[in-house]
Chains A and B, each alone.
Chain A
Amino acid sequence: MEDNKFEEVFEGKLAKNEMVEPKDWMPDNYRKHLIRQISQHAHSEIVGMLPEGNWITRAPSLRAKVVLLAKVQDEGGHGLYLYTAAETLGISRDELLNNLHTGKAKYSSIFNYPTLTWADIGAVGWLVDGAAIMNQVMLQRTSYGPYARAMVRICKEESFHQRQGFEIMTHLSFGTADQKAMAQDALNRWWFPTMMMFGPPDSESPNSENAIKWRIKRETNDQLRQKFVNQTVPQVEYLGLTVPDANLKWNEAKKGYDYSEPNWVEFKNVISGNGPCNKQRLLARNKAHNEGAWVREAAQAFARKRKEIYEAA
């Protein structure tokens, strides 16, 4: 078949809402866009283990400890599903990790903010996972088969994460005055960074157009952000907390809240490496990887010695 015939088949699949599979022909920039998006997503899960893992040894009850362990472990699992989805596009895990460790690949900027108190673990689960889920639900119907299937599994498992976060916020908000203050403080610090998670305003989002055309994305940044605000404000009210935005107001005409834009200058700075924890996160990932090298080599050497491995490598 000639190239344009291939392209026709590809476009046909998109038009019919069919999935594109690893062996199917796909345009180069579709492949590149996917590798970038899926690996960013995977890296976010892995780096995201750090701020939450930060509190595992300090979880204030035995129940909270097992729940947090299970949750952070789930994030690792999700990173793994996504790495293997990216690998079907012809890039190896080693290369993907190398891109992360050298700072070449990005991950969600939200994880460059610190988790300072136990309430931050609540806020991360409730707000950050809540925002992530909005993206993820839509990605279950994305055009690339392995990505969509990974997202189906992830969404199924994520469903407890946001509840876990909200439960922590509930305990704090209806707890002692100190606890409630801790909850409000966390909301104050996480509100705008969470709003940034949906990406720059549509007018300034360079990758959106293709992403929507290819069904790699199905709603725009601003649409998702609005949806998030509408969904979250009643939850804040239930908790008896205050959204740290003086301009927040119900707009009857658009049946949604008006809100202040996050600080996009800060956003750009955090993305380009100047957030409070960028260096620390990358250092932690590099350290784990480098200190794990002898472990992986030992496993490789052992497999060769015992010939237990089906010449797979």
Chain B
Amino acid sequence: MTTQEALFQYTLRIADTNLILAQRISEWTGHGPFLEEDLALTNIALDITGVAKSLLEYAASIENKGRSADELAYFRNDRQFYNAQITELPNGDYARTIVRQAIVDCFDYYFYTELAKSKDETLMGIAQKSIKEVTYHLRHTSSWVERFGDGTEESHNRAQQALNELWQYTGELFEMTEVDEILIKEGIAVDLNKVKEKWENHMSELLEKSTLAKPENVFMQTGSRKGIHTEHLAFILAEMQALPRMYPDAKW
């Protein structure tokens, strides 16, 4: 694998994680638990769709085969997507949506903090911009995790159940492959072991504050680094990509 190929895949991985999560949480727009929160979650969806767009544009330029960012988003099949599986899971109830978001926000926070030191200037720039957004996302979702954890018995149970179900998908976030190896040597990619430790500590603190139990000894799911997904992704893409694929010669 060349550095260029590695960089292409690495960029797609970050882009897809943002794109698919945005796709999921934007399902809440117009259906939130109350109006103010509806708008707040939509803001997060907007931010991360924006990040996905910048990254896909960069991926397209790395690939340099004349494919645009939109073509990467709308004309790849599920086996060519590298988003973490946790992002493609159905939203479930609001506790599940928030817990998942907090898990990913927390990961992103430490990940972008490291990526902001990348020797790749484009990734560095995108990371620097994203840190500000993600700092706010994490603050927002963390405060909701706390409210659910220490709110009513029902909200506590819902949040705990969400954690128990989602935890098996957190291992994937820190998996490193040949792609990472090549790019770490070049000073481009992030050593995810470093991120993992910070993420673990942060999550432990947040869950404790929220009176929630951190799941232990969980068997971790894997696959997305190889483009292997849950059954949900193909449905997401079928919906997302329908129009451009129906009219492949059209411009929108």
| A contact residues vs B (CB 8 Å cutoff) | 46, 49-50, 53, 56-58, 60-66, 69-70, 72-73, 76-77, 79-80, 83, 118, 168, 171, 175-176, 178-179, 284, 287-288, 291-299, 301-302, 305-306
Contacts and interface: CB of A to CB of B under 8 A. Distances in A.
A178 B155 contact: no
Interface string B144-186: 0011101110110010000000000000000000000000000
A178 B32 CA distance: 35
A298 B148 contact: yes
Interface of chain A: mostly helix, strand, loop or mixed: helix
A302 B151 contact: yes
Interface string B25-40: 0110111111111110
B34 A292 contact: yes
B159 to A, nearest CB: 9
B128 interface: no
B30 A77 contact: no
Contacts, number: 134
B150 A305 contact: yes
Interface stretch (B69-77, B101-109, B217-225): B69-77
Given A60-B244, A76-B38, A287 B31 contact: yes
21 contacts: A57-B27, A58-B242, A60-B74, A60-B243, A62-B70, A69-B29, A72-B29, A76-B39, A118-B243, A171-B251, A175-B250, A175-B252, A179-B250, A288-B31, A291-B94, A292-B32, A295-B33, A297-B152, A298-B151, A301-B155, A306-B150
A76 B42 contact: yes
B26 A80 contact: no
A66 B252 contact: no
Interface stretch (B46-54, B118-126, B191-199): B46-54
A182 to B, nearest CB: 9
A57 B49 CA distance: 11
Contact of A66 (B49, B150, B251): B49
B46 A70 contact: yes
B240 A76 contact: no
Interface residues of B, number: 48
B182 to A, nearest CB: 28
Contacts of B152: 294, 297-298, 301
A61 B252 contact: yes
B252 A60 contact: yes
B17 interface: no
Given A58-B242, A60-B244, A62-B69, A301 B30 contact: no
Given A73-B42, A77-B39, A298-B147, 15 more contacts: A58-B240, A62-B69, A69-B29, A69-B42, A73-B39, A76-B29, A118-B252, A175-B251, A176-B247, A288-B31, A291-B33, A291-B94, A294-B154, A294-B155, A297-B151
A64 B73 CA distance: 13
Contacts of B249: 176
A302 B49 contact: no
B33 A288 contact: yes
B29 A298 contact: no
A310 to B, nearest CB: 17
Nearest to A288: B31
A164 B84 CA distance: 33
A3 B33 CA distance: 43
Contact of A62 (B29, B33, B56, B93): B56
B115 interface: no
Nearest to B94: A295
A292 B150 contact: no
A7 B37 CA distance: 41
A64 B29 CA distance: 16
